[in-house]
Amino acid sequence: MSEKVAVFDTTLRDGEQAAGTRLGSREKIVIARQLAQLNVDVIEAGYPNSSPEDFEAVERIGREIEGPAICALSRAVPADIEACGKALAGCKRPRIHTGIGASDIHIAGKFQDERYGRTLEEKRRKILEMAVDAVKLARQFTDDVEFYAEDAGRAERAYLFEMIGAVIAAGARVVNIPDTTGYTVPEQYGALIRSLRENVPGIDRATISVHCHDDLGMAVANSLAGVLNGARQVEGTINGIGERAGNAALEEIVMALRTRADYFGVHTGVDSRELHRTSRLVADLLGFQVPRNKAVVGANAFSHSSGIHVDGFLKQRETYEIMRPEDVGMAESKVVLTARTGRHGLADRLARLGYALDEKELEQAYRRFLAVADKKQEVFDEDLLAIVHDEIHPVPPVYELRYLHIYSGTSAIPTATVRLQVKDATGEGAAIGDGPVDAVYRAIAQVTGTAARLERYEIRAVTSGAEAMGEVTVQIVEGGRKVVGRGASTDVIEASAKAYIDGLNRLASLASAAASPPTVEL
């Protein structure tokens, strides 16, 4: 039997942090449940001390999600670690992930204050002491403690070995060697992992974890080089979302280890048939669309268009296909629902897609489903997901769309009128704009009095064909707070209005939260 490589998902921490958007805890639960279905080994759920919202999300995920270990992030400071301990108090398999800068660049840059020492050497001693103390404190809350040596890729080797040895002696079970800045190349990063195994006393008692960033497009290659050299945990995110150019894409690592098991000689516990669904869910909820040509989960990842390829493919699949679409859950037979499908049939299909809705939610989804089925006759899985995601309200809505009318054409000035429910009252607005969407947004802004700025607007057809549902994603910003709003409809103007209103509702819910919570870049 080959050795297992644990899969550590940080979509909800590193991924969310970078998406520039804050998910509600309901959405985080939906993603976490799907990650459990995917059967990852660890879910990093958030950074509890960064904001009350993050604390609550970690607490809920820890309580409600069964299967994977649930991990919370902290710096090597007592307040952070205690917040992790508290947030994970109701969790069956809690893990605390703590750590500190290991490179001289980080030590000199982030610990300038004299209380950390005057010379670089004094600071190094102090940082080492803080690392050990952090692990010991974390161990008071759980046996499962992971330590990260931030910017390990650029750290001086002898000092890194000393630090990793000291934290293992203090009780760290997993040691994470992040390439925080995406600076290393595969041979070099692999050699770094190997050097740890050869030089750190007690390294056999810990699992080495790799955490790579994609600044030079080598996050996945670096992670795999780490595995070849003895790392037995890989960290990454779904679709590779994350700080700057992103984290290592977990779906690519998983499929590389699986497809080339002959070469790597290891396996993961991931159910690869859940990859496509997970990818779609994360893209939808975070408002980050997957490029069509993306490896493993892109829409074109398994399509063959050149004549010679198609011919070869039809004769024998293996000629041009190293993975099968069904291996990543792409070719699952699409049961087509129609307006004649009842509540039971819909609930059944949704359950197979991973959604357990309560009675009220099902009723809402069913009404939306009928409206869509009425317009486009055949409803595909993708349409259902768009409907369900549209119905997941992270917050009680302040604004609801009641009525929308637009007047537009090649020789007309686009004009929109809207009526919104605003708490117990209704408000009406009318505006002209550069186009129908602009006019609608101006009319909505008139009613809500919002000062929010539209930063990004994306529209996507959920399924193919002229009657496809349109899904609109917007990013809006107000007072330093960024949110993503989504809306889906067979009418793209209506989808646009819904996305904007969804964003405004999210902003309203954040009004009391801190403008930009502190983050840890690791």
Expressed in angstroms, the distance from the first to the final Cα of the chain is 33
Nearer to Mn ion, 288 or 399 (CB): 288
Nearer to Mn ion, 47 or 399 (CB): 47
Other CB atoms within a 10 A radius of the CB of residue 517 amount to 15
Other CB atoms within a 10 A radius of the CB of residue 374 amount to 12
How large is the C-alpha radius of gyration of the chain? 25
Nearer to Mn ion, 210 or 257 (CB): 210
- Smallest gap from Cβ 205 to Mn ion, in A, equals 25
Return the residue matching tokens 């990013």. 475
Q: What's the burial of 322, exposed, middle or buried (CB within 10 Å: 0-12/13-18/19+)? A: exposed
- Smallest gap from Cβ 89 to Mn ion, in A, equals 26
- Smallest gap from Cβ 214 to Mn ion, in A, equals 10
Nearer to Mn ion, 21 or 341 (CB): 21
Cα separation of 222 and 153, whole Å? Answer: 11
What residue is closest to Mn ion based on CB?
A: 14
Nearer to Mn ion, 248 or 346 (CB): 248
Nearer to Mn ion, 101 or 487 (CB): 101
Nearer to Mn ion, 14 or 274 (CB): 14
- Smallest gap from Cβ 150 to Mn ion, in A, equals 9
Nearer to Mn ion, 108 or 245 (CB): 245
- Smallest gap from Cβ 210 to Mn ion, in A, equals 11
Cα separation of 258 and 273, whole Å? Answer: 12
Contact footprint for Mn ion (CB under 5 A): 14, 522
- Smallest gap from Cβ 26 to Mn ion, in A, equals 25
Cα separation of 240 and 250, whole Å? Answer: 7
Return the residue matching tokens 């293992």. 168
Cα separation of 435 and 414, whole Å? Answer: 5
Tokens representing 303 are 């399509």
Judge whether 339 and 373 are in contact, CB under 8 Å. Answer: yes
- Smallest gap from Cβ 16 to Mn ion, in A, equals 12
Judge whether 260 and 2 are in contact, CB under 8 Å. Answer: no
- Strands 266-267 and 3-4, sheet pairing: parallel
Q: Helix-strand-coil percent breakdown of the chain, rounded to 5?
A: 45, 20, 35
Nearer to Mn ion, 131 or 440 (CB): 131
- Smallest gap from Cβ 179 to Mn ion, in A, equals 9
Cα separation of 231 and 227, whole Å? Answer: 4
Tokens representing 131 are 């690392």
- Smallest gap from Cβ 522 to Mn ion, in A, equals 5
The per-residue b/e assignment along 104-141, b for 16 or more CB within 10 angstroms, e otherwise, is bebbeebbeeeebbeeeeebbeebbebbbbbbebbbeb
- Smallest gap from Cβ 511 to Mn ion, in A, equals 29
Nearer to Mn ion, 250 or 508 (CB): 250
